[in-house]
Copies of this chain bind each other. A is one copy, B any other.
């Protein structure tokens, strides 16, 4: 069951780590650490095999994949020697990358994006292609009447107005090409009524938003712990220091705001109230891909006694994100194969800001995910 992964932002850190990593796993050079679909509880014949994934994608940047991979080796994200060992595979992926098509009218840009994807699918005789957005986080998109329903959207796209942010235009293109869409970023993506309508019409599923790889992951287990123990969280204040391409982009206050918001939501949802404090993101070029986050939590217990905990998280963002990209593509492909369409709330486990009215507590998200995968096997 050859399955395509079409990456928006294909020359970025997450994308490159995913492409090189999948090749390394296929070549038996590494264990599938970080890939949750390789855990016994989630392994399933319903999922396309890791070895059956084929990569292509769009990027506005032109840096060769091999050069980007080399930079990731230097940064300690990819192991030394891997680019030499996987030169052929990297070259093969390089051939499937395309510049982002542009056009005066967004409807035409979308058609060309879809055409690139369809061409990719045809050439590789892929059963299906999952489009995954791992491009730079966008600032919040300005509202537009075309967002509200599909008819209005299609009419507006045919004008020369900018109607959709890039992430949503990609979702639109994916749906028109009959492809599932995964948004690993906090950008708008498929989260517009008009696009929900389109996904339903096209009978394709979609998932998102914003891969959960660090501080929020920890929050999604610690916050339920405080709740289960009836301890009242008073303050939860976080600082995230990060460099890399994503860090540089998040230094932009607009993009930053989107991210910081989705990082605190988990608290209100799992605790039932919003503690004081905020989540602060700071760009430090030198930190590179290894983010350091520090969180301080103060809480009250029996008779009001105040206590505290703090943690630091020193994680390699791309190494945490890339295997989840593979997981999400496999799961979404299987959901599509099983006839699922619309938002996949069951994949909340993977996201900081999951679609739908779902739990933000990791253990519950895990239980839902396990059931979801079991369900897929019996279609």
Q: Which residues of A contact B (CB under 8 A)?
A: 17, 21, 24, 30-36, 38-39, 76-80, 82, 217-218, 220-222, 224-225, 228-232, 234-235, 237, 239, 241, 276-278, 280, 282, 284-287, 290, 292, 294, 296, 298, 300-305, 307-316, 319-320, 322-323, 349, 361-364, 366
Chain B residues with CB below 8 A from A280, complex form: 239, 280, 282
Q: Please tell me if the beta carbons of B230 and A303 are within 8 angstroms of each other in the complex.
A: no
Can you spell out 24 A-B residue pairs with CB atoms less than 8 angstroms apart? A30-B304, A33-B302, A34-B230, A34-B301, A38-B230, A78-B303, A218-B222, A218-B225, A220-B225, A221-B224, A228-B366, A237-B284, A276-B286, A277-B284, A286-B298, A290-B307, A296-B312, A301-B315, A301-B316, A301-B320, A301-B323, A302-B319, A305-B316, A307-B320
With a cutoff of 8 Å between Cβ atoms, the chain B residues found around residue A80 in the complex are: 80
Chain B residues closer than 8 Å to A308, beta-carbon distance? 314
Report yes or no: A36 in contact with B230, Cβ–Cβ below 8 A.
Answer: yes
Those 8 A-B pairs whose CB atoms lie nearest each other, nearest first:
A363-B363, A34-B302, A311-B311, A305-B319, A34-B301, A239-B239, A221-B221, A302-B319
A363 cross-chain contacts in B, Cβ below 8 A: 224, 228, 361, 363-364
Number of copies: 4
> Could you tell me if B309 and A218 are in contact, using CB atoms closer than 8 angstroms?
yes
A33→B230 contact, CB < 8 A: yes
A309 and B307 contacting across the interface, CB-CB below 8 Å: no
- Cα of A237 to Cα of B239 in the assembled complex, Å: 10
A309 and B303 within 8 A (CB): no
Residues of B within 8 A of A315 (CB): 301, 307, 309
Given A228-B366, A276-B285, A302-B322 in contact, is the A312-B314 Cβ separation under 8 Å?
no
What residue of chain B has the Cβ atom nearest to residue A321's Cβ?
A: B302
Q: Is the CB of B296 within 8 A of A241?
A: yes
Closest to A324 in B: B229
Are A235 and B282 in contact, CB atoms less than 8 angstroms apart? no
A39-B228, A221-B222 given; 16 more Cβ-contact pairs under 8 Å = A17-B303, A33-B231, A34-B301, A36-B228, A36-B229, A79-B304, A79-B305, A228-B366, A277-B284, A290-B307, A301-B320, A303-B319, A305-B319, A308-B314, A311-B311, A311-B312
Residues of chain B contacted by A222 (CB below 8 angstroms): 218, 221-222
Name the contact of A320 in the complex, choosing from B228, B302, B323 (C-beta under 8 A).
B302
Whether A217 touches B229, Cβ cut-off 8 Å, given contacts A302-B33, A309-B314, A316-B305, is yes
Please give, as numbers and ranges, the residues of chain B lying within 8 Å of A287 by CB-CB distance.
235, 298
Determine the chain B residues whose CB is within 8 A of the CB of A349 once the complex forms: 228
Residues of B within 8 A of A320 (CB): 301-302, 307
- Chain B residue numbers with a CB within 8 Å of A276 are 284-286
Among the listed B24, B294, B301, B314, which residue makes an inter-chain contact with A319, where contact means beta carbons less than 8 Å apart?
A: B301
